[in-house]
């Protein structure tokens, strides 16, 4: 077994898979059939303003700090996102977005297909932190993993029964991880199947069909 198959998490720092807005393609640059993508990519942006109640749009900011307009133009047959669920400080993930110039001169992303959008209840900094922590705590050294409570490398740790991403010596270390290290704040997002599939992207063959989210929020 290769180390990659033992450890299939690439994380959000891979900016080919998770590009900031400045790296998004323009519509005319897409050289492939949209139903048969040659690669997968996903934009991550934190909601930085309350959505305008009368218009299906909000402002999001990526990891580089660039703020853009996010506007929803749902198909007639599909309901748009529930704007009342959108919260400042949560992060929106969008599959296969392109750069867009709106008629009012602003720049951003135009979302037409709601199955490609999902909101996660973490800030963008915490999305990246979760991704880095998952890398760190799931990479064994000499067959030993790090305990997320006491940060010692050991064998035979038990894993968080909810998300499975963090490991503990026992009850005390688990309690320490849950509160002191704030696993409580992250665990719900980490056990979401959509979040897990995003982390495993690098290992998914490009000939696979497009990803889509199973729901708008965790
Ligand atoms: Zn421990
Ligand atoms: Zn957990």
Domain ranges of the chain: 127-188
Q: How far is the CA of 109 from the centre of ligand 2 (A)?
A: 32
65: how many CB neighbours lie within 10 A of its CB? 8
Quick: pLDDT tens for 114-131: 889 999 999 999 999 999
Most confident option among 36-40, 74-78, 119-123:
119-123
Report which bound ligand comes closest to the CA of 153.
1
Quick: pLDDT tens for 23-35: 998 877 776 665 6
Quick: pLDDT tens for 155-172: 999 999 999 999 999 999
User: pLDDT confidence of 15, banded at 50, 70, 90?
Assistant: confident
Residue 10 to residue 167: CA distance in whole angstroms? 19
CA atoms within 13 A on the CB side of 148: 29
Residue-level pLDDT at 77: 73
Residue 189 to residue 191: CA distance in whole angstroms? 6
Q: Which of 132, 123, 208 is nearest to 165 (CA)?
A: 132
Q: How far is the CA of 47 from the centre of ligand 2 (A)?
A: 25
Q: How far is the CA of 164 from the centre of ligand 1 (A)?
A: 16
Enumerate residues with CB within 5 Å of ligand 2 (an ion): 160, 162-163, 187
- Note the pTM of the prediction, 2 decimals: 0.88
């Amino acid at each position: 077994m290769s180390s990659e198959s033992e450890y299939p998490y690439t994380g959000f720092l891979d900016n080919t898979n998770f590009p900031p807005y400045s790296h998004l393609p323009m519509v005319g640059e897409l050289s492939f059939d949209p139903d048969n993508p040659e690669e997968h990519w996903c934009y991550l942006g934190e909601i930085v303003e309350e959505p305008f109640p009368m218009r299906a749009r909000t402002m999001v900011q990526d990891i580089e700090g660039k703020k853009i307009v996010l506007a929803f133009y749902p198909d007639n047959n599909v309901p748009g996102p529930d704007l009342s669920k959108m919260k400042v400080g949560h992060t929106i993930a969008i599959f296969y977005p392109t750069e867009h110039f709106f008629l009012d001169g602003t720049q951003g992303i135009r979302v037409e297909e709601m199955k490609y959008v999902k909101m996660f209840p973490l800030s963008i900094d915490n999305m990246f932190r979760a991704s880095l922590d998952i890398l760190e705590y799931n990479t064994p050294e000499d067959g030993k993993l790090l305990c997320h409570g006491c940060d010692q490398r050991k064998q035979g740790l038990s894993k968080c029964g909810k998300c499975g991403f963090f490991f503990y010596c026992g009850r005390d270390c688990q309690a320490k991880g849950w509160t002191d290290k704030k696993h409580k704040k992250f665990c719900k997002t980490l056990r979401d199947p959509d979040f897990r599939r995003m982390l495993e992207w690098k290992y998914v063959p490009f000939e696979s069909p497009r990803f889509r989210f199973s729901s708008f929020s965790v």
